[in-house]
Amino acid sequence: MTEAAFHTVWLPLQGRFYRVAFYLLEDEADAKDAVQELYLKLWTLRDHLELVREPAAYGSLLLRNLCIDRIRRRKPREALREDQADDLPPDRQLEDKEALQAVMKNMDALPPNQRKLLTMKVLQGLSYDEISQKTGLSPLNIRVLVSLARKKLRR
Instruction: State the pLDDT at residue 80.
Output: 44
Decide which of 36, 55, 73 is a domain's last residue.
73
Residue 129, domain extent:
102-154
Give the orientation angle of helix 139-154 with respect to helix 128-135, to 10 degrees.
110
- Indicate whether 79 belongs to any domain: no
Least confident of 9-23, 64-78, 135-149: 64-78
Dihedral angle sign, alpha carbons of residues 134, 135, 141, 143 = negative
Q: How far apart, in Å, are the Cα atoms of 33 and each of 17, 21, 40, 70?
A: 11, 9, 11, 10
Question: Which amino acid belongs to residue 137?
Answer: L
Instruction: State the pLDDT at residue 16.
Output: 93
Question: Residue 117 belongs to a domain with what CATH number?
Answer: 1.10.10.10
Instruction: Return mean pLDDT, the chain.
Output: 83
How many Å apart are CA 84 and CA 92, to the nearest integer?
12
Which pLDDT band, with edges at 50, 70 and 90, does 18 fall under? very high
Question: Residue 62 belongs to a domain with what CATH number?
Answer: 1.10.1740.10
Residue 78 has pLDDT above 70, yes or no: no
Cβ neighbours around 45 below 10 Å, total: 13
- % of the chain residues with pLDDT over 70: 90
Span 118-137, mean pLDDT? 85
- Indicate whether 130 belongs to any domain: yes
- Indicate whether 128 belongs to any domain: yes
Could you tell me which residue, 108 or 63, shows the higher pLDDT?
63
Task: Please check whether residues 13 and 68 belong to one and the same domain.
Answer: yes
- % of the chain residues with pLDDT over 90: 30
- Indicate whether 84 belongs to any domain: no
Task: Please check whether residues 66 and 8 belong to one and the same domain.
Answer: yes
Long-range contacts of 6-13 (CB under 8 A, 24+ apart): 6/42, 6/43, 6/46, 6/49, 9/49, 9/55, 10/39, 10/42, 10/49, 10/55, 10/59, 13/55, 13/56, 13/59
How many Å apart are CA 50 and CA 32, to the nearest integer?
25
**Pseudo-torsion of CA 98, 99, 100, 106, nearest 10°?**
110
Span 107-129, mean pLDDT? 82
